[in-house]
Amino acid sequence: QQQVKQSPQSLIVQKGGISIINCAYENTAFDYFPWYQQFPGKGPALLIAIRPDVSEKKEGRFTISFNKSAKQFSLHIMDSQPGDSATYFCAAGIQAAGNKLTFGGGTRVLVKP
Amino acid sequence: DAGVTQSPTHLIKTRGQQVTLRCSPKSGHDTVSWYQQALGQGPQFIFQYYEEEERQRGNFPDRFSGHQFPNYSSELNVNALLLGDSALYLCASSLVTGFTDTQYFGPGTRLTVL
């Protein structure tokens, strides 16, 4: 199976709060897990990515947690800011197979000031 | 350094027509992937081009075809347009080197089929 399931569909968080988005996958061949941020009218922009040999990766306010046995990974946005209001997509790929990406359905995040 | 560029920005067609979308990859990138993003959904992989050949393809009918030129730019062609083809078409470029080939997306072409 190639499906990637993402939750929640939407999220409202106060400024300074933590946004948490979860994804689950089925295909154990996936070995590359990026997160993309998309603003209205724009293409997705890479935020952060992780490989399955690492359980956590942090870049600034963004952290990916990865649980290989559960086939789940999540994005944490710390100290959320109004400028973080966007749609976030998780994705999964197989690097030896050209790394075509299978995307989740997206999470619309609204950060209230 | 120019990122991924796509043209046109918007396009309106009627059912049954044919359309061609264009993509110029990020400087130095040699691989182009095309995705279709329906409103409110995640992008879906259409196909990928490397060395002017289609390297892999998603679950899209033969009405969707593509081409990659020697300068790595690419075209997506859709024949016999259906209403359901209305979507944002995204091009992503990458460089096949090392362990990862991170994909960088362009702004997309919004196609409306009436």
A80-101 pLDDT, tens digit per residue, is: 999 999 999 999 998 777 778 9
Strands (E), A26-106: 33-38, 45-50, 56-59, 62-67, 72-77, 86-93, 101-103
The pLDDT assigned to B100 comes to 59
| pLDDT tens string B20-64 | 999 999 998 889 999 999 999 999 999 999 989 998 899 999 999
Provide the token pair at B93.
Answer: 């470029």
Q: Does residue B113 fall inside a structural domain?
A: no
Q: Does residue B112 fall inside a structural domain?
A: no
Q: Average pLDDT, whole number, for chain A?
A: 93
To the nearest whole angstrom, how far is the Cα of B106 from the nearest Cα of chain A?
5
CA distance B6 to B38: 17
CA distance A45 to A38: 6
Interface contact A102-B45, CB threshold 8 A: yes
| pLDDT tens string B64-75 | 999 999 999 999
For chain A, the first-to-last Cα distance in angstroms comes to 40
- Domain span at B30: 5-106
Is A49's Cβ below 8 Å from some Cβ in B? Answer: yes
Q: Which CATH class, in words, describes the domain spanning A4-112?
A: mainly beta
> Cα–Cα distances in Å, from A58 out to A54, A66, B38?
11, 12, 31
Spans of all domains in chain A: 4-112
> How many domains is chain B built from?
1
For residue B70, give the CATH number of its domain: 2.60.40.10
- Chain A interface, best mutation among B91, B103, B104, B109, by max A CB count within 10 A: B103
Partner residue opposite B103 with nearest CB, options A42, A99, A104: A99
Q: Does residue B114 fall inside a structural domain?
A: no
The pLDDT assigned to B1 comes to 63
- Chain A residue numbers with beta carbons less than 8 Å from the beta carbon of B44 are 103
